[in-house]
Amino acid sequence: MSETTNTNTNTTASATTTEALRERALKLDAADQLADRRELFALDDGVYLDGNSLGALPAHVPARVQDVLTRQWGELRIRSWEESGWWTAPERVGDRIAPLVGAAAGQIVVGDSTSVNVFKAVVAAARIAGEGRDEILVDATTFPTDGYIAASAARLTGHRIVPVAPADVPAALGPRTAVVLLNQVDYRSGRLHDLPGLTAAVHAAGAVAVWDLCHSAGALPVGLDEHGVDLAVGCTYKYLNGGPGSPAYLYVAERHQAAFDSPLPGWNSHADPFGMTPDYAPADGSARGRVGTPDIVSMLTLEAALDAWDGVEVDAVRAKSLALTDFFLECVEAYVPAGRVTSVTPAAHAERGSQVALRCDDAESVMRRLIERGVVGDLRRPDVLRFGFTPLYVGFADAERAARVLAEVLAETAGA
């Protein structure tokens, strides 16, 4: 889809337009079935639109973490590995994430970083694909780390990296393709890629599909099991609100678990981890994706944060996400001076994640001024303003206010 340029011919919106949009925002918030979730989070009077980088803190989490520190660690100490369930946390928390990405229990293990899990997944996928296939296709628009990790995995396994735009993947597939690593949502533009269609194309070519869900999990339905995804990875500190540096997760479809050969076979993934034997024998199931001792404090912080999802349907989250981003784009169109921003986020719902990216001259200065006025988004150099919409705590009044403040900043900087 081509980029959409703001065509508002007025330098400022009329008072009537502003009042009408504010009234609509209030009505939409009043009808929002997820509105009560906002009070579960520690938020100030500003507008927080950076949940696609770091989700807001669920208000109950500090007390839960205090218990981990003072009782579980401080009093029970080593006994907590069994009595507090520390040892089983990677699989238990994985099962909490599973319904949010459309997976049955027993297929997700939590631990390590996204980068480490990408490495595990790509190398294991290449081994699953077998001999005679020597190409790894990687999303040419991917977050840089995925590309770095895939290139390293290719060097280690004797494969060749083939960068390709997601839309061009079907044409690039062939008998030499072993693995395809793709992002479901582009981190710059918010473009949603066709996970079902691309996964089917990869399978038709006899290859293995690995998906990065960092910008989709917790924002939209993923359907890992439904669409036959082979392996997937994702972070938990964005829409899942797990906290800075919270552990990532690895999904291995049940049908691949027996053949999953991790390139990082640590003692935690051993079938008998306390046997301390010199030879490695992998554990069954998702535990095979573990490596070393899990980061328990961060793991249990994430587990507590996931309580905010209890009773929430991902379909309802997706419906609100699309309504929020639609409304924000409408407000930008109404408020922002003509020609000052260009949306690089697709207008079509089928192609949109849960963020809006606006190309803007002097974007760094504009974002700094927005943050000073309480509207927190982020920047992707050189010229993209990113606004992430987390439906659990962002409302329609937030969207209207953010667009209005953006217009004020741009009007003040015109010709500066």
**What is the structure's pLDDT at 386?**
98
pTM over 0.85: yes
AA identity, residue 299: M
**What is the structure's pLDDT at 12?**
54
**What is the structure's pLDDT at 415?**
57
9-15 contact pairs (CB < 8 A, 24+): 9/338, 10/338, 11/337, 11/338, 11/411, 12/335, 12/337, 12/407, 12/411, 13/334, 13/335, 13/404, 13/407
Among the residues of 5-142, which ranges form H helices?
15-31, 61-67, 80-83, 89-97, 114-129
Give me the active site residues, please: 143, 212, 237-238, 386
The burial class, CB within 10 Å (0-12 / 13-18 / 19+), for 361 is: middle
Q: H-helix or E-strand containing 315?
A: helix 314-335
Domains of the chain: 4-59+313-413 (3.90.1150.10), 87-293 (3.40.640.10)
What does the DSSP 8-state code read for residue 136?
Answer: E
What span, in angstroms and rounded, lies between the C-alpha atoms of 156 and 238?
31
**What is the structure's pLDDT at 416?**
52
- Listed in sequence order, the residues at least 6 apart from 97 whose beta carbon sits closer than 8 Å to its beta carbon are 103, 108, 110, 217, 236, 240, 249, 306
Per-residue pLDDT of the chain (416 residues; tens, 9 = 90+): 334 444 443 445 788 999 999 999 999 999 999 999 999 999 999 999 999 999 999 999 999 999 999 999 999 999 999 999 999 999 999 999 999 999 999 999 999 999 999 999 999 999 999 999 999 999 999 899 999 999 999 999 999 999 999 999 999 999 999 999 999 999 999 999 999 999 999 999 999 999 999 999 999 999 999 999 999 999 999 999 999 999 999 999 999 999 999 999 999 999 999 999 999 999 999 999 999 999 999 999 999 999 999 999 999 999 999 999 999 999 999 999 889 999 999 999 999 999 999 999 999 999 999 999 999 999 999 999 999 999 999 999 999 999 999 999 999 887 55
**What is the structure's pLDDT at 13?**
72
